[in-house]
Amino acid sequence: MLKEFRKFILRGNVVDLAVGIAIGAAFTGLVNSLVKGFIDPLVAVFYGGQKLASSSFTINGKEFLYGDIINSLISFIIVALVIFFLVIQPINHLTERFGTGKESESPTKKCPHCLGKIPREATKCMFCTSAIAKT
């Protein structure tokens, strides 16, 4: 059982996932620091001196911190944009460039009359003997 566990842990996918989560957590911390240390004070300059994170409204004596939610939303958008532009787009580009490209056409087609699978070059269905137009 220990041998199977070691084999599972050392598989490439598990190690890649662990590294991705660790880097993602560190990057998220960096983005949160950027938002709190740079964007929040920058917004405060235009927002009238009050930091966005401490922005709130009160209803029946209960305080609602909408500024915290906006800060989290800004952090999420920054992380999503970085992942999209620095991970997803390059992978898509590499897949298009070095991938197999268009999948080759299937060597078979369906007969329009009986829906049997016949060779692409066939002019007559081997199942229902209907004439097939060449495509």
Condensed to tens digits (0 to 9), the pLDDT of residues 38-90 reads: 888 887 787 776 677 778 889 999 998 888 888 888 888 988 888 888 888 98
Give the residue among 80, 52, 57 at the shortest CA–CA distance from 68. 52
| Same domain? 29 vs 73 | yes
| Same domain? 77 vs 112 | no
Say if residue 34 is exposed, middle or buried (CB neighbours under 10 Å; 0-12, 13-18, 19+). Answer: middle
| Dihedral sign of CA atoms 123, 127, 129, 131 in order | negative
> For residue 37, what pLDDT band results from cuts at 50, 70 and 90?
confident
Cα–Cα separations (whole angstroms), residue 83 to 13, 20, 78: 19, 12, 9
| Same domain? 29 vs 85 | yes
| pLDDT at res. 56 | 85
User: Considering just the CA atoms, what is the radius of gyration of the chain in Å?
Assistant: 29
| pLDDT at res. 43 | 78
Q: Cα–Cα distance between 121 and 118 in angstroms, integer? A: 8
**pTM for the full model?**
0.54
Domain boundaries, position 109: 105-135
Give the residue among 113, 106, 135 at the shortest CA–CA distance from 122. 135
Number of domains in the chain: 2
- Other C-beta atoms lying within 10 Å of the C-beta of residue 101: 9
Alpha helices in the chain (DSSP H): 2-9, 12-34, 40-47, 66-83, 89-98
Cα–Cα separations (whole angstroms), residue 129 to 85, 111, 119, 123: 54, 10, 13, 9
Residue-averaged pLDDT of the chain: 83
| Same domain? 65 vs 131 | no
Q: Is the pLDDT of residue 8 over 70?
A: yes
Q: Cα–Cα distance between 38 and 43 in angstroms, integer? A: 9
